[in-house]
């Protein structure tokens, strides 16, 4: 009986922890501080490490046509205007890193995701600087490590 109660307690705790806590924009603004200002951004090298470790996903929020012309093969594309209807496609247990060519749209999406309870940052370098970073040896090294992690799962 004790094992059953303990298991039930663990399951309830897990379900509660996995639920997303929505926050109003007003609440978010009134609690905004220097830590949040720092935590809302991420640069390419740190992002790549978290993706390699399987702790984060890169969410490319550009329009479909932009994504089709060029994209990072490890990014998930959900266009900004489709996101409200496709939130269920995002994992709740990983950091969601929003990205666009610079960072204007991705910072807007980051706020939307944050208000919906997601752990999220925007790529402050933007996809253009990430593409520049991932050339030559950097591209090969990242891709080798990324493929090894994907294969291990």
CATH code assigned at 144: 3.40.250.10
Asked whether residue 11 is assigned to any structural domain, the reply reads no
Residues of the domain holding 83: 21-152
Instruction: Please give the Cα distance from 91 to 56 (Å, whole number).
Output: 9
The model's pTM = 0.79
What's the structural domain count of the chain? 1
To the nearest 10 degrees (0 to 180), the angle between helices 137-152 and 44-52 is 30
Residue 152 is predicted with a pLDDT of 76
Asked whether residue 60 is assigned to any structural domain, the reply reads yes
Instruction: Please give the Cα distance from 90 to 67 (Å, whole number).
Output: 18
Asked whether residue 10 is assigned to any structural domain, the reply reads no
Asked whether residue 117 is assigned to any structural domain, the reply reads yes
Sheet with strand 75-77: strands edge to edge: 41-42, 120-123, 95-99, 56-60, 75-77
Residue 7 is predicted with a pLDDT of 37
pLDDT < 50 stretches in the chain: 1-18
Asked whether residue 31 is assigned to any structural domain, the reply reads yes
Asked whether residue 6 is assigned to any structural domain, the reply reads no
Structure tokens given for 20 = 């997303």
Instruction: Please give the Cα distance from 91 to 20 (Å, whole number).
Output: 11
């Amino acid at each position: 009986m004790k094992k059953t109660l303990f298991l039930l307690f663990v399951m309830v705790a897990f379900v509660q922890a996995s639920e997303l806590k929505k926050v109003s924009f007003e609440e978010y603004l009134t609690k905004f501080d220097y830590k949040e200002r720092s935590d809302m951004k991420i640069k390419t090298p740190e992002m790549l490490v978290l993706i390699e470790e399987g702790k984060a996903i890169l969410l490319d929020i550009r329009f479909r046509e932009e994504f089709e012309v060029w994209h990072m093969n490890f990014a998930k594309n959900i266009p900004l205007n489709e996101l409200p209807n496709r939130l269920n496609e995002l994992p709740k247990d990983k950091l969601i890193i929003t990205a666009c060519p610079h960072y204007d749209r991705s910072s807007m999406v980051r706020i939307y995701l944050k208000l919906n309870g997601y752990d999220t940052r925007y790529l402050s370098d933007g996809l253009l600087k990430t593409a520049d970073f991932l050339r030559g040896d950097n591209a090969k090294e990242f891709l080798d490590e990324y493929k090894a992690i994907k294969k291990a799962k």
